[in-house]
Each structure stands twice: as structure tokens, then as C-alpha cells.
Chains A and B, each alone.
Chain A
Amino acid sequence: MKKLRNRQTGKPANNGPAPLCSHSLRDVENHYCAGCGHGIIHRLVCEAIDELSIRERVIGVAPVGCAVIAYDYWDFDVTEAAHGRTPAVATGIKRVRPNNIVFTYQGDGDLAAIGTAEIIHAANRGENITVVFVNNGVYGMTGGQMAPTTLAGQKTATTIHGRSLRREGYPLKILEMLSVLPGTKYAERVAVNSAHEVLRAKRAILKAFKMQMEGKGFSIVEVLSMCPTYWGMTPIQAADRIKNEVATFYPLGVIKSC
């Protein structure tokens, strides 16, 4: 593998051993909190893109959320989208450039709250795009408020005594919802709380991109991700919480594949 170099200094990157992926991930410091899942997921997306040799064909759509400046890390064409409109923007791009590989990267506020209509209809139209859906159970960027995916009893900035099912309703299982739509061709839920799960997550993202390259239609990978900051935990506790709590409500694995 090629060793990354710092773009400013030209020196080999000093972040430990030679990184595993090269072209698509920029060698820059990241702004995510310690133990955040976004950094890992960015990297998995880039590795998948490099392994499929599609960097020069890829167009990414970044969300509004902690990952809004994903384009500072990704070294390929990227546009921002208004909050939740991410799949609509991707639809417009893909329709006029069907030979490009178009994906959205969205948090659970972006995809499961404000952008629910856009994601359901993009899936239902069978848009040939790929969606990377980062479920961390909170709104990270705005200060840890409740997301539609927040678990029952979970304390957030807007559910200070814990999410009450009676008051705030039920955590939304987006993949299960989308799976009933014929337009959804591939839906898998993965996690990034351990090396083992990270490898599975990578395989799922690869598969989702491949589905698009084969013209199969709408593919989505939901990634259960850590937000130690707004879970009020250390990175290790947050990773454990995914295994012990989050994944027991949101089961991992392929939800739909055709």
C-alpha cells in the first residue's frame, strides 16, 4: 500500500503505521471527538471506493450533521445538501449522470427525522444510489438532542429523564421500514464497535456500492455508531453500549438482499 503524505509538508503522515487506505481519504487531522464512529465510517467508505477503483467516478452527498464537512476528509467530488434533502440531491445527480457512483452519507437526524420523506421516496423509486446511514441515536452536531432512533429510556438534552415511549414515541427502525419497499434492493445493519464488526461493516459498504455498479437499485447500510460525547461515556463504554444495548434493539445483519 502507498504511504500517505501530509499535503502541506510533504512528509510521511505521522499517525502511526502506514494507513491501510490511500487515495480517497485525505491525510488531515479530523475534528471528530475521541471514540466517535464517524471517522471509522469515513475510512470504510474510502477503502471501499479505492478497492472498487471508483474514486474518479464517485460523487458523494454530505449531510447536515457532525459529518457535514466530510469533504475535508474525502478526496473526490462532494456536495453538501440541505438537512435531510440528501437523497433528493443524490437523485438529481444520479439521474443526469447515471454512470457516476452516487452515495449519500447521513446521520439519524438527517435521514430518520427531517429527511424521512426523501429517503422513503428515493428507496421507493428504486433510485440506483447507495446510502450510508449513521445511527448514533442522538443529534451530535446540535448538542445531543433526541433523535428518532434514541432508545427508550435514553437520556439526551431534550429527554432529560430518559426517552418516554408514551411522550416521545418509539425508536424508529428505518431499515425494517425501507425493506418492505420493493425499490429497496439491499439493506444491511452493521456496527463499528469492534474490529470484527468494522470488517463486516466494510463488507456491507462494498456490497452496497457493488449493487449500484451493477445497476441493481437502492442500497442502504445502517451503521450503529458511537457518540461518546453525548452518551456521556468513555469511548470504550460507548463501544460496549453498542453491543449490550443498541444492537439488541437494532439487530445486526442483512435485513434485505435481492
Chain B
Amino acid sequence: MTKKLLMCGNEACGEGAILAGCKFYAGYPITPQNELTAYMAKRMYETGGSFIQAESELAAVNMVFGAAAAGARAMTSSSSPGVSLKQEGISYLAACEIPAVIVNMQRGGPGLGNIGPSQADYFQAVKGGGHGDYRLIVLAPASAQEMLDLTFLAFDLADKYRTPSFILGDGLLGQMMEPITIPSKLQPKEYQKPWALTGCKGRKPNILRSLLLGDGALEEHNKKLQLKFAAIKDAEVHCQCFNTKDADIIIVAYGSVARISKAAMEAARAKGIKVGLIRPITLWPFPEKIIEAAARTAKKFLVVEMSAGQMVEDVRLAVGDKAKVSFYGRMGGGVPDDKEILREIETLI
């Protein structure tokens, strides 16, 4: 039987993790994701998993490294300043090919910033963040329901590719209460983890390492990682398109801003302006082919973000010189409303 619940996005994320069989969570308090840490404390207790309130985000992500290295599904979450601290661990997870899920409910920055919603950590999530050549699978939910669904998916993708995956949300999504549906037949896929550290009974010892000093060894390892990232890029692009076929102007937006932009699109259509919307669900891999194809028919693109303009760079790369790309952004916790976006659309006509 499907279950209906009223939850905020942070809690829905936690429930998605529980449904995915997450057995270990470590976190450190930071607004606006505290509901998630509290939810995991409760649900880990109820489901026989482990919850640790760590001494720092550094410790939290490295605890997750340990739990996931030992084969468990594991997650950590934070908001922007805390996610900066996690970058070291994320780089090691990617390097050692350890699957785990990291959640960033972004807030205004830089520095301590504020606790308003933001999308200013796009570069950090999508372009690397930590040191070295690696990619994260970055999923961008736009509702409480998707906080659950995409967290569930994040665990699956992490195990499937043996790599960390990342939920890029924002404070608005985390705090908003919405009805969610839990499908009755949601069963996490089981993955064999012959590489996990479980004690070497009956097999050769397993070693997890990222230090490769041998001649050319690290370059070989990097090539192997890049092949994996290429496979992810081929197979895992997720994206939603609305009214793009006949659109003169296409908005590109993700997360909460995609929802607000959808309202703006509808208002524009009501006024007879042919507006469409492309909403990347995976920010990496980025739906560049879909955007490129849309640029063959649409004349103009408007990228809307809660940042000074980050994803817009990827849209520009995809569009090339096929169409004009404009940007509208709010920063430091500012949230654009549909009227603002509509005004912006009207200036483009």
C-alpha cells in the first residue's frame, strides 16, 4: 500500500535514505538542514542503523568513508559552510571509489553568509569541489517528494558506479512542508561489494587506497576513473522539458528555482509569449545535448539561478552561438518570484 505523509524536504531526504537501506549517518548541526540530522537520529535508532553527531563535518564525512568502506550504505548532510569542510573526504571517496551520499542544502554565502536559500555552491558540487580530477553524480530535487525519490536514486547510482553521489538542494526545499507519497514496492537494489573491508576471511585482503606512487600508476587510476565518469555521462542524464518544442524563449533553471520558473512560464504563456522550461535533474552529468538540441529552434535562453551566475556557464557551453543566453540571478539568500522572472522574460522580447 502506498503511504501519504506530510513532511519537509529535509525529512523526506532522510526517509529516502532509510528506504534505500542507509545504515549509517553522521552529521554536524547547521541550518537549514537540521531537520535532516534530527530525523536521521530518530530513524536510525528505529531501524537499527548507526547515527553519530560528529565533532565536525570533516569527521562526519570521514566516518561515512569508514562505514561505506566497510560495505554499508552511508550518508552525511550539511549546508554550504559545512560542505566546504567535507570536500577533503569527498575527494578521498571518489579516489578510493567508495559509494556514499552527500547532501548539501545550500544557504547564502560566501563565508558564514546567512540561512536563506541559495544555489551558489553549483561550481563546488559540479566542477569538483575537492582536489583532483573527479566528478560527482549531482542530483537536484525540486520538491519534498523528489528529496525522497532522488535520495533513493542517489544511493542506487552510488553503488552502481562505486562513486559518491550528491544531492544539491537549498534551504527553501529543506524547510518547505509538502505531501509526499511513499510507493509500496520501493525496494533498494542489492549490489555485491567484493571490494569492501569486512575482514579477509576466505579471501585475499582488501585494500582501499588513493596513494599510488608506482611509475604511471596514478595516471592509470585516473584513466580508469575517467572511463567510469564517461559511462555515467552517457547513461545517467536526467532532465525535464516543458513546452520547449514551440518555444521562442527557454528558461533553464534547477531545484526550487525551476518550480518558480514554471509558474513564470505559465504566466508568460497566458500572455501569449511562447516560453518553455528545461529543468536539469542531474547537474552532473549535465543535459547539454538536450539544451543544444533545443537551441536549434529557440531563439533565446534565460538562465535563472539563486547565484551570481554559475550554471549559466554550462548552458552557454551547450548553446554555443546557436542562440542568445541571458541570465537572471538573486544572491545571498534572495529568492526570485515568478513576477520577477516574467518581467525578465518580457525584457527579452
With A82-B88, A97-B198 in contact, is A71–B209 under 8 Å at CB? yes
B residues 180-208 in Cβ contact with A at 8 Å: 197-202, 205-208
Complex Cα spacing A80 to B200, Å: 16
Q: Which residues of B contact A92 (CB under 8 A)?
A: 24, 26, 62-70, 74
Digit string of B324-341 for contact with A (CB within 8 Å is 1, else 0)?
Answer: 000000000000000000
Bitwise interface map of A from 99 to 128 toward B, beta carbon under 8 Å scored 1, else 0: 010000000000000000110110001000
Which of B68, B199, B206 neighbours the largest number of chain A CB atoms within 10 Å of its CB?
A: B199
A81 at the binding interface (Cβ < 8 Å):
yes
CB-defined contacts of B210 to chain A, threshold 8 Å: 80
Q: A56-B201, A79-B197 are in contact. Are A89 and B66 (CB under 8 A)?
A: yes
Is B26 within 8 A of A79, CB to CB?
no
Given contacts A88-B66, A93-B67, contact A59 B89 (CB under 8 A): no
**A85–B70 contact, CB under 8 A?**
no
The size of the chain A interface, using a CB distance under 8 A, is: 35
Q: Are A91 and B52 in contact (CB under 8 A)?
A: yes
CB-CB < 8 A to B74: which residues of A? 92, 96
* Interface assignment of A50: CB less than 8 Å from any CB of chain B: no
Q: Is B31 among interface residues, defined by CB-CB distance under 8 A?
A: no
Contact flag A88-B200 (CB < 8 Å), given A77-B207, A78-B207: no
Contact, CB under 8 Å: B24 / A96: yes
> Does A66 interact with chain B (Cβ within 8 Å)?
no
Q: A77-B200, A100-B198 are in contact. Are A88 and B205 (CB under 8 A)?
A: no
Partner-A contacts on B (CB < 8 A): 23-24, 26, 50, 52, 54-56, 58-60, 62-72, 74, 88-89, 92, 96, 197-202, 205-211, 213
Name 28 A/B residue pairs within 8 A (Cβ), A-sorted: A56-B201, A58-B199, A71-B209, A76-B199, A77-B206, A77-B207, A80-B96, A80-B211, A81-B92, A85-B59, A85-B65, A88-B60, A88-B63, A89-B66, A91-B63, A92-B24, A92-B66, A95-B24, A95-B63, A96-B50, A96-B67, A96-B70, A96-B74, A100-B198, A100-B199, A117-B55, A117-B56, A120-B55
